[in-house]
Structures are given as structure tokens and as C-alpha cells.
Amino acid sequence: MRWLLNALSTSVGRKVVLAITGLLLCGFLVAHLAGNLLLYVPDGGHSYNEYAHALHKQAALLAVAEVGLFGLFIAHIVIAMQVSAENRAARKVGYAVTRSKQDGRIAMEGYRPDTWMLVTGIVVLGFLILHLIDFKFECRDSVFYETAAGTKVEPFDKAKNLLSTSNLITIVGYAVGSFALLAHLAHGFQSAFQTLGINHPKYTPLIKLVGLLFAIAMGVGFASFPLLWSMSH
């Protein structure tokens, strides 16, 4: 733990930890999306139900994973806010408009990467909170989670109920959150590698391309559930 505390005590160290936590969260996104894609298997929800039940049977392991993920999210958010504040403070004069390196072009201050990374990150956080409210804490009306007889619905049916066209809060929230995730990853993925020192003329273009494709896959993948999957049920 001492190395972590030492890293967090410096600006460079905080950026490195931010990059590492971001990449670890990318791994979680891949695993989570892979599991959710079972919603598309045309077997009446059997595959998705089996996956969900198998996951929740590992109660102790799931609890440890959730605590770990929560820690990663909190660390990533807190450090991101610190880094963003440091970047703003490092600018001696805050200009509404800054001139780019290319003659004749103007770059708006609001479009600086650290600014919109913070904004998209906050939107993604809202998306995560909405997801937890819907699926983990089950805070919506009981009709989403119970049958007419009062018994718990299967995981596939719960997803179908929550992602139905009648549930506009979830559909709009998930769609906006998913595309904010796409924007966040489009810059954050390649930026993480650059922060970790993996920055070479030979490999950087490939990393940027992989990062863009990854961002599109994650953003479109998660957005597809409320936008496409709900329309077919």
C-alpha cells in the first residue's frame, strides 16, 4: 500500500493510477457487455437466466467483486476530479478562447480533453447509478420485478420489463449514458496507454485505432439494449 500512497502524493503518480484504474474498468465493461449480449440469444431468455443464476450462486465471490469494482469506480472518479482540478490550476490564465497551433484556427476552451472527459465521466456515473437503481436495488415499481402472483420474475423478464418502450426514463438514460461512455473511452483508452509510457510513433496510431473501435463497440453495444432490444419485445 505504501507504493500506492507514494504514487497518489504526486501529480504524475495520480495520472498513472487514473490510467490503471481506467483500464481495469475497461476489462469490467467487456465482461459485463459479453454477459448482457446473451439477451439476444433466441431461446426465450434461457441462456441469460442461466448466466444470471450461475453468477448469483457465487454470493461470496460476487460480493468481493462488487466491493472491488466499487473501489475502482470511486478511486477513478476521485482521482479524475483531482487531476482535472490540477490541470485547470496549472493554467495561469483561463481563456474562453485559445488559439491552436495551426494558423487561422480557433480552439474553444470548453472542448479541452480534460474538460469533456470530466463531463462525460459525470454522465457515465449517472448512467451507472440509474443502472444500479433499476437492476440491483430494484427501486422501481414492483410491476417491473414481480409477476401478477407476487413472485420474483426471471432475470430475462426483469430486463425485458425495465427496457420496454414504456420505461422512458431508463431508455433515455441508458442511451445518453452509453454514448457518453463512447465519448469518454474514445479519448481515455489511448490516453491511458500514453500516460503509462506506451507511446511510440510505430504503435500509437494502432493504439488510437483500437481505442476508437473499443469505444464504439462498448458505446453502441450498451446503447443497443434500450434502443433495439426493447423494440423487439
Q: Where are the domains of the chain?
A: 14-88+113-232
Q: Which three cell numbers stand for residue 128?
A: 451507472
Beta bridge partners of 99: 106
Region 53-74 average pLDDT = 95
Residue-level pLDDT at 228:
80
pTM of the model: 0.89
pLDDT digits (tens, 9 = 90+) for 169-196: 888 999 999 999 999 999 999 999 999 9
Residue-level pLDDT at 106:
44
DSSP alpha helix (H) spans, 58-203: 59-90, 113-131, 155-162, 168-195
pLDDT digits (tens, 9 = 90+) for 101-135: 444 444 444 456 777 898 999 999 999 999 999 99
Reference 142, options 152, 130, 156; nearest CA is 152
Give yes or no for residue 72 having a pLDDT over 90.
yes
Element (H, E) at 3: helix 2-8
Report residue 230's pLDDT band, with 50, 70 and 90 as the boundaries: low
